[in-house]
């Protein structure tokens, strides 16, 4: 300020000039620090502060509701680390390897972190492997008290031997609520310029930017269409809980390659906007002043095993000192969740749930090892009892109408499928255009709705019925094919279509009614046991319509009568077949995600697998139908019981069994 006045007058300052300069400095500096140039730190130019403020990102995070403990939204906001210093609930600890950590100091200040080594860590209140809502409540209290203002840290970075300048923004989050659970989280982004000084950078447009994602990042040209901007401010999307930063709202399955995480980063709607202030850091780490914490090489969270360990600070990361070298090694895209599979469960979507479950067990193993081992042992035992404990031979595909065990039904279904492989594959493939067409129609109506509730509801209805209709039709085709086999007729694809057409509406309506009834019962807690019961007892309505030509009502009654007395035997067969149909495509997709294949192709492969498995599960269900008929002939039909409370004389008593 003084030098500017000197240049204007062309001579040295007089007393009045000095007095005016002092007054301006005294009045102006506090106002500047309270505004956007709290961005300016010691040793940094006004141009650096202006550059940091010019490009500070706008952040879109998943909106949090009133419940602070919901973890699939964003429970935190970017903040200053100052809220940790002097906090009586925060401890500075020393890691002693295999022995217990020792306390260095409670309520540490920033100066207590100066020049601490890697063995020292900050311990926030709470346990990352315990009740993590403690962190959400603590942060909410800090936010309400004004101790956690929305802010990001800006850093002007240069690299020896490289031309250009990098403007980095470092995001500090109080807790990481993802598949990996840990105290504190550092993420960020970087914008690069061809200029070599902040003054030059202010006069030109950036060249590239990269958003940080776990241990890697995703690059983009500044003019790339995927980069949203509001003026000069890039709009970025931190994923809920993990805080990996993306360019758009979506779900991003990550397979761990090239620095990505393992799991699904979620930036989908509903979203809320954050406009952080930029706090400019020194260009080089320091152990003096308000940024003395930059000399801290320890961890910003509780010491834990593996991925639950607290992270180290920005100055320890490769991109701090080598922004261009690090950036050149990163990728240009991130895999996004496709719109959906053609038919059946989406393979990529299933990946998200499986990874979350596996990492949940891993986290449990660290917190409660014995409980985790018990869970795994119970799972293995259940799998063995359901899938492995049975009589498997003989598996005769020549005589289909016979009494069989669960293992024999599975084995015979495999032989039957292999014997008529191309016919069954062709029948299963019918599901793809049916569901593909309904999804295309539903998606078109959804795009056309434009907020119209009626059109959107119609779109949702069409999308939800596509898979059930496809499953119903393909199952009917296979049942007719098997009926021709057992009756000695020549089974063909054309005959299967014709046989289904003759009873089309009864077949479709009966199956859809059974599925709808089970679904509606399952919506309520009190109805869930009944849903499980009728999922099994109504399973053979299609077979009854197609084999016996019964009406819809009679088919429901006959299917129920057939299962009565053999409910557990039926469950033993139906549940594994249903699980096989449900998980085969997604299970294959989970493995394919760890390959370079595009996610859309993985979902397509999963859909095809689902479609061609439908005939196998239908064959198994039909063989179970024959098995139950054989048992009824040998043992007789079990009598029904009346449970109608308004008929007390018959309540819970055996009543006359109608002929079937």
- C-alpha distances in Å from residue 63, one per residue of 66, 170, 421: 10, 21, 50
Helix (H, G, I), strand (E, B) or coil at 515: helix
Q: What is the 3 state secondary structure string of 34-80?
A: HCHHHHCCCCCCHHHHHHHHHCCCEEEEECCCCCCCCCCCCCCCCCC
User: Please, is 248 exposed, middle or buried when counting C-beta atoms within 10 Å of its C-beta (0-12, 13-18, 19+)?
Assistant: middle
Between 437 and 125, where is the model more confident?
Answer: 125
- Residues 184-203, mean pLDDT to the nearest whole number: 96
Q: Which of 106-110, 527-531, 536-540, 585-589 has the lowest mean pLDDT?
A: 585-589
pTM exceeds 0.85: no
User: How confident is the model over 455-501, as pLDDT tens digits?
Assistant: 777 777 776 776 777 788 888 999 999 999 988 888 899 989 988 88
- 206 vs 383: CA distance, rounded Å: 56
pLDDT at 113 over 50: yes
pLDDT at 140 over 90: yes
- The tokens describing 496, both together, are 């299967």
User: Please, is 45 exposed, middle or buried when counting C-beta atoms within 10 Å of its C-beta (0-12, 13-18, 19+)?
Assistant: middle
Mean pLDDT, all residues of the chain: 83
Between 341 and 542, where is the model more confident?
Answer: 542
- 108 vs 322: CA distance, rounded Å: 31
pLDDT at 279 over 90: yes
User: How confident is the model over 377-415, as pLDDT tens digits?
Assistant: 888 887 777 666 778 888 888 888 889 888 899 899 999
Q: Which residues contact 217 (CB under 8 A, 6 or more apart)?
A: 190, 210, 211, 259, 327, 330, 331
- In this predicted structure, what is the pLDDT of residue 416? 93
Q: Which residues contact 180 (CB under 8 A, 6 or more apart)?
A: 242, 261, 307, 308, 359
- In this predicted structure, what is the pLDDT of residue 98? 73
Strands 251-255 vs 233-238: parallel, antiparallel or unpaired: unpaired
- 588 vs 611: CA distance, rounded Å: 14
- Domain residue limits, the chain: 1-34, 35-328
Q: Which residues contact 500 (CB under 8 A, 6 or more apart)?
A: 473, 476, 477, 480, 507, 546
- 17 vs 530: CA distance, rounded Å: 90
Q: Write out the DSSP string of 1-25.
A: -HHHHHHHHTS---HHHHHHHHHHH
First to last CA, the chain: 102
- 286 vs 283: CA distance, rounded Å: 9
Rg, the chain, Cα only: 33
pLDDT at 370 over 80: yes
- In this predicted structure, what is the pLDDT of residue 317? 95
User: How confident is the model over 330-353, as pLDDT tens digits?
Assistant: 988 887 776 555 555 555 666 777
The band of 257, judged by pLDDT with boundaries at 50, 70 and 90, is low
pLDDT at 2 over 80: no
Angle separating helix axes 347-367 and 567-592, nearest 10 degrees: 100
- The Cβ of residue 130 has, within 10 Å, a number of other Cβ atoms equal to 11
């Amino acid at each position: 300020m003084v030098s500017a006045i000197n240049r204007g007058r062309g001579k040295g300052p007089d007393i009045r000039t000095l007095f005016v300069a002092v007054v301006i400095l005294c009045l102006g500096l506090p106002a500047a620090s309270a505004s956007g140039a709290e961005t300016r730190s010691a040793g940094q130019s006004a141009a650096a502060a202006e550059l940091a403020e010019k490009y500070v990102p706008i952040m879109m995070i998943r909106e949090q509701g009133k419940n602070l403990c919901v973890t699939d939204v964003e429970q935190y906001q970017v903040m200053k680390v100052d809220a940790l210093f002097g906090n009586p609930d925060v401890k500075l600890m020393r890691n002693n390897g295999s022995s217990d950590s020792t306390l260095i100091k409670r309520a540490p200040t920033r100066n207590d972190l100066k020049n601490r080594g890697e063995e020292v860590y900050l311990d926030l209140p709470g346990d990352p492997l315990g009740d993590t809502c403690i962190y959400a409540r603590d942060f909410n209290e800090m936010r309400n008290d004004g101790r956690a203002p929305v802010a990001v840290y800006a850093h002007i970075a240069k690299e020896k031997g490289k031309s250009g300048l990098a403007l980095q923004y470092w995001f500090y989050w109080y807790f990481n609520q993802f598949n990996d659970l840990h105290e504190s989280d550092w993420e960020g982004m970087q914008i690069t310029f061809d200029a070599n000084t902040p003054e030059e950078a202010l006069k030109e447009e950036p060249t590239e930017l990269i958003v940080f994602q776990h241990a890697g990042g995703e690059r983009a040209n500044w003019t790339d269409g995927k980069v949203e901007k509001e003026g000069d401010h890039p709009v970025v999307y931190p994923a809920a809980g993990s805080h990996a930063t993306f360019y758009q709202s979506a779900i991003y399955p990550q397979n761990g390659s090239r620095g990505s995480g393992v799991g699904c980063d979620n930036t989908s709607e509903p979203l809320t906007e954050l406009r952080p202030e930029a706090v400019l850091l020194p260009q080089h780490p320091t152990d003096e002043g308000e940024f003395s914490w930059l000399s801290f090489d320890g961890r910003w969270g509780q010491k834990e095993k593996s991925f639950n360990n607290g992270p180290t600070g920005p100055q320890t990361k490769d991109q701090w000192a080598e922004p261009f070298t690090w950036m050149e090694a990163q990728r240009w895209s991130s895999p996004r969740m496709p719109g959906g599979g053609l038919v059946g469960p989406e393979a990529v979507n299933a990946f998200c749930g499986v990874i979350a479950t596996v990492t949940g067990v891993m986290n449990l193993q660290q917190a409660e090892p014995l409980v985790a081992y018990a869970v795994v042992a119970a799972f293995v035992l259940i799998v063995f009892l359901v899938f492995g404990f049975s009589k498997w031979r003989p598996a005769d595909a020549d005589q289909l109408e016979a009494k069989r065990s669960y293992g024999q039904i599975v084995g015979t279904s495999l032989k039957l499928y292999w014997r008529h492989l191309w016919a069954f594959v062709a029948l299963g493939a019918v599901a793809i255009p049916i569901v593909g067409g309904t999804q295309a129609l539903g998606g078109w109506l959804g795009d056309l709705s434009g907020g119209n509730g009626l059109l959107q509801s119609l779109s949702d209805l069409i999308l939800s019925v596509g898979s059930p209709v496809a499953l119903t039709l393909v199952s009917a085709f296979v049942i007719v094919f098997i009926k021709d086999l057992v009756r000695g007729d020549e089974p063909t694809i054309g005959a299967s279509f014709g046989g289904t057409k003759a009873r089309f509406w009864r077949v479709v309506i009966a199956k859809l009614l059974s599925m709808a009834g089970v679904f509606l019962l399952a919506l309520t807690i009190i109805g869930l046991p009944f849903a499980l019961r009728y999922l099994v007892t109504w399973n053979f309505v299609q077979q009854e319509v197609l084999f016996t030509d019964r009406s819809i009502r009679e088919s429901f009654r006959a299917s129920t009568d057939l299962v009565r007395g053999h409910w557990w035997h039926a469950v033993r067969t139906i549940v594994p077949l249903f699980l096989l149909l449900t998980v085969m495509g997604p299970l294959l997709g989970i493995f394919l995600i760890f390959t370079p294949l595009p996610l859309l192709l993985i979902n397509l492969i999963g859909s095809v697998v689902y479609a061609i498995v439908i005939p196998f599960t239908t064959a198994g269900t039909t063989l179970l139908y024959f098995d139950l008929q054989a048992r009824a002939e040998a043992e007789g039909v079990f009598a029904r019981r009346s449970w109608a409370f308004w008929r007390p004389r018959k309540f819970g008593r055996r009543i006359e069994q109608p002929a079937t």
